[in-house]
Amino acid sequence: MNRIQLNAEMLKKNIELLKCPICGESMRVAEMKSLICPYGHTFDIAKQGYVNLLARPVHTHYGKALFEARRNIIVHHGFFNPLIQKLTACIGEVAAASDQRIDLLDLGCGEGSHLAAICQKLVKDYSFHIMGSGVDIAKEGIQLASKHYPDQLWFVGDLAQPAFADHQFDFILNILSPSNYQVFDQLLKPGGRIIKVIPSGGYLKELRTSFYEEEKISYSNAEIKALFLNHFSNARTETVSYVARLNHEGVQDLLQMTPLAWTAAEEKREEWMKKKSAEISVDFDILIGNKSF
């Protein structure tokens, strides 16, 4: 079977997760090449295996070069390894008592490396039966995800109106991405968890200090945390803080990946691009809330 057919089989086995993004009706796999709803709204499976569920094309500032740099940072430089380990533990500790399949959704998955790594570690460390699905509005990211990680389902879609059926997911990941709390509530199963990762004050502080004036050097996530607590009163916070050492290629990938560098003065960027290595602070808050009904 080719990649389209392989993914069609996987979609058939997980079709209950999906709904039509146009009318909200259920979907089915048609002729091993498309998703279709009862009203005839049709979405083809791309040759790479993903499905584009956007009603119309969307332009983003996130191109292929950014996502390739992000994948390098995650996979080849291990920049986020402690975060991935912590997220795996957060899921594993909650789900350890269950012998049921775990449905995990990454909303704003980028090129998919976080989700793929977490799924792999959950299988290895906990022997879970897990189905991972990733959605992002940037087609370039989903194309890379589908190319490198065939064990998960990948969709181009609107994070504010994702094409998933209600109450289908045990866990939702939202890593350094915008949030829609109504969507979280809608998609989570009763008792399901939302795990949101946000930068804390020390995140990439070396870049902030180098690139910007005093008013942009400091960063606070207090407003985001307060909004999360408004929606999930029983939420808890975990922290992950460490210093990552990057070689020359890693520094270049980081500058390509982070929006912090995009508006920096050219001479400052060039100065960093020439570095043979750098120690970079990584500082995250992990906000965990559970759906109580």
Per residue in 97-135, pLDDT tens?
Answer: 677 899 999 999 999 999 999 999 999 999 999 999 999
The count of domains in the chain is 2
Q: Are residues 188 and 67 in the same domain?
A: yes
Per residue in 146-192, pLDDT tens?
Answer: 999 999 999 999 998 899 999 999 999 999 999 999 999 999 999 99
Q: Over range 269-286, report the average pLDDT.
A: 96
- We report the CATH number of the domain holding residue 119 as 3.40.50.150
Classify residue 268: in a domain, yes or no. no
Count the neighbouring beta carbons within 10 Å of the beta carbon of residue 157: 24
Q: Are residues 155 and 180 in the same domain?
A: yes
Residue list, annotated binding site: 20, 23, 37, 41, 80, 111-112, 203
The Cα 176–Cα 109 span in angstroms is 9
pLDDT at res. 58: 80
Q: Provide the CB-side half-sphere exposure for 200 (13 A, CA).
A: 17
pLDDT at res. 95: 87
Q: Are residues 98 and 165 in the same domain?
A: yes
- What rounded mean pLDDT belongs to the chain? 93
pLDDT at res. 218: 66
Classify residue 255: in a domain, yes or no. no
Q: Are residues 54 and 88 in the same domain?
A: yes
Per-residue confidence band for 291, with pLDDT thresholds at 50, 70 and 90 = confident
Residue list, annotated binding site for Zn(2+): 20, 23, 37, 41
The Cα 229–Cα 96 span in angstroms is 26
Does residue 13 surpass a pLDDT of 90? yes
For the record, the structure tokens of 52 come out as 């584009």
pLDDT at res. 97: 67
% pLDDT > 90, the chain:
80
For the record, the structure tokens of 128 come out as 């879970």
Q: Are residues 91 and 106 in the same domain?
A: yes
Q: Are residues 41 and 115 in the same domain?
A: no
What is the reported pTM? 0.95
Look up residue 60 and give its amino acid: T
Look up residue 133 and give its amino acid: S
Per residue in 219-254, pLDDT tens?
Answer: 789 999 999 988 887 899 999 999 999 999 999 999
Residue 234: domain span: 49-201+220-241+283-290
Residue list, annotated binding site for S-adenosyl-L-methionine: 80, 111-112, 203
Q: Are residues 77 and 191 in the same domain?
A: yes
Q: Are residues 28 and 117 in the same domain?
A: no
